[in-house]
Amino acid sequence: MNAQVDHRIEDGIEDRIECGSPGKQCETVATTGWSRRCAARRVAALLATSATAALAACSGSPRAKAPPAGGKLPPAKIRYLHWDRPRDEAYAQVWREFSQQHPGVEVELNTVTGVYTEKLLSMLVSGDAPDIFALDRSQLEPFVQQGGIADLTPFVKRDSKARWSDLLPTLQAEYTFQGKVVELPNGPVDVGIFYNKDEFAKQGLKPPAEGWTWDDLVLAARRLTQQDGATTTQWGFGWVNSFYEPWVWGNGGEVFDKPFDMTKCLLDQPKATAGLQWYADLVNKHRVAPRPSEYAGFSAWEMFYKAPARFPLVMSGSWRVPTVLANTQFKWDVAPLPRGPIGKDLNITWSGGTCINKASKAIEQAWALTVFMWGPEREREAVMRTGANLRANLPNYMTTIKDPEIDKALTKLAQAGTVPPGYGKVFFHALLTSKQRPVAPPAAADATKALNAALNEVWEGKRNASEAMQAVVPALNAALATAKS
């Protein structure tokens, strides 16, 4: 496992985190035990060796029948599997509401111990899988290929309540696999800049504003960096080594030719390597941020509000807002990522999703519940009330994001201290221009691991970006070609 760029599921969303010194074992969430690269290989192997015959019996796509007369569903028990354990109470309340509308339809929460995907696989193979289950896009491919997931295309076409065409284009692409809709998204996330308003005022700095640039970031980070002799007591910028894609995009480069089903990595191209090098220079040239090995066990977002040396300026995700609100003792806000040389707002987004078991005996009820939880009506109600969807993530639907009434609600929530003032523009509106986080196929997992190791050498200042990418990208492209064959 790469000590600097690990993967974990947190609050239902895959989050690549930074760890401490080389060799330090990274944290994983106890409820899932999920490490994407390792588990993806194990799942793929298990599917290939033991699941094909069992899942072949589930071949064919479910038919989307006409909705029942009067809108009432036949009695059934829907088994629901997810990893959002902090959301259990919120989900249960919605399930009770759904059951009141459809008497006789019950929802049962299934709990997983151990590795989530391996447990789900064993349930599918044994014919005892839940009707609804969560899968991140990076976990999805082996399950779709082996036939355990229902094709939702007929349901999407039939049911106007799902409003598939109103979903963010990134989400439509994320959960359309080989021309079929395989999941309904349950809330995207994106990334912004968290900043300490008190510290900016103390240093006489203007807060980062819409349209600020990479140069503005460097100037502010230099002013904010403080030293006591040879010891840095405050780093100007808390960077996150795994969210490097926006810095490539902001320089006019690309990471892959496509975010999914990619055929070529483009990180060895000049504009891409220059973007990577600029990011690494924050650490090794300007010295306004620590090297990954200098984090000493702390993560960047936690060091925004607690650590021996705090970061008054840090790159972090929308899902961190509640934790930061609960822990900060100073005034703070969020700002968009700074614009690079191409002058565009380019953020990174990804989402979790909800699948339905192809073999479910309650597939109509499962679909109805899925739309009830993640459709536009529930989303708008939750956002107006809390600033987030049922999963405590951002909205799926463009009409929600663009709704002036939502902006007014977010302003009121900011005044009440429920969200920071810049929350709507920085996170909601950014989704309209954010680019999809690439997901390499499981077959290229070893080559992707080698890429991350090479990037870590760049962040540590051991190699320049051009040299590192020229050395590692050909092997990754060979692995992608093999995955396609």
The pLDDT tens digits for 114-158 are 788 888 988 888 889 999 999 988 888 888 887 889 999 999 999
Poorest-confidence range of 117-121, 360-364, 402-406, 436-440? 117-121
Q: Which of 369, 387, 390 is nearest to 428 (CA)?
A: 387
Instruction: Give the pair of three-digit tokens for residue 22.
Output: 């080389």
Query: Cα 11 from chain centroid?
Result: 10
The answer to whether 36-189+351-420 and 190-348+437-484 have equal CATH topology is: yes
Q: Is the pLDDT of residue 266 over 60?
A: yes
Q: Which pLDDT score is estimated for 407?
A: 96
Does the structure show a pLDDT above 70 at 417? yes
Architecture of the 36-189+351-420 domain: 3-Layer(aba) Sandwich (3.40)
Residue ranges of domains in the chain: 36-189+351-420, 190-348+437-484
User: Which among 323, 296, 322 is positioned nearest to 307, based on CA atoms?
Assistant: 296
| Domain 190-348+437-484 fold | D-Maltodextrin-Binding Protein; domain 2 (3.40.190)
**β 184-196/348-356 pair status:** antiparallel
Structure tokens at 245: 């894609």
pLDDT at position 63, please? 63
End-to-end CA distance of the chain: 27
Q: How confident is the model at residue 480 (pLDDT cuts 50, 70, 90)?
A: very high
Bridge partner list, 352: 136
Taking only the tens place, the pLDDT of each residue in 441-456 is: 999 999 999 999 999 9
**pLDDT for 317 beyond 50:** yes
pLDDT value of residue 301? 82
What DSSP string describes 169-208? HHHHHHTEETTEE--EEEEEEEEEEEEEHHHHHHTTPPPP
Look up residue 447 and give its two tokens. 């080559």
Residues 96-123: what's their mean pLDDT?
Answer: 91
Q: Stretch 248-257: mean pLDDT, rounded?
A: 97
Rounded Cα distance, 335 and 419, in Å? 13
DSSP H or E stretch at residue 351? strand 348-356
- Listed as own residue / partner, the contacts of 468-475 with beta carbons closer than 8 Å and 24 or more positions apart are 469/267, 469/268, 469/272, 469/273, 469/276, 470/268, 473/265, 473/267, 473/268, 474/268, 475/447, 475/450
Q: Which stretch, 51-65, 305-319, 403-417, has highest mean pLDDT?
A: 403-417
The pLDDT value given to residue 257: 97
**If you average pLDDT over residues 313-319, what whole number do you get?**
94
**pLDDT: which is higher, 466 or 231:** 466
Alpha carbons 382 and 395: distance in angstroms, whole number? 10
Residue holding tokens 């992608």? 480
Measure the CA dihedral 465/468/470/471, to 10°: 180
- The size of the chain, in residues, is 485
- Give mean pLDDT, residues 445-470: 97
152-204: per-residue pLDDT in tens?
999 999 999 999 999 999 999 999 998 999 999 999 999 999 999 999 999 99
Following DSSP, what letter does each residue of 86-137 receive, concatenated? Answer: GGHHHHHHHHHHHHHHSTTEEEEEE---S-HHHHHHHHHHTT---SEEEEEH
H helices present in 204-295, as ranges: 214-224, 245-249, 270-284
What is the average pLDDT score of the chain? 86
Q: At 21, which helix (H) or strand (E)?
A: none
Whether this model's pTM surpasses 0.85: yes
> Distances in Å between the alpha carbon of 288 and those of 102, 221, 279, 311?
57, 6, 11, 10
pLDDT at 299 > cutoff 90: no
Residue 5 has pLDDT above 80, yes or no: no
DSSP letter string, 425-463 = IIIIGGGGTPEEPP---GGGHHHHHHHHHHHHHHHTTSS
Structure tokens at 265: 């990595």
Within 13 A of 304's CA, how many CA atoms are on the CB side? 29
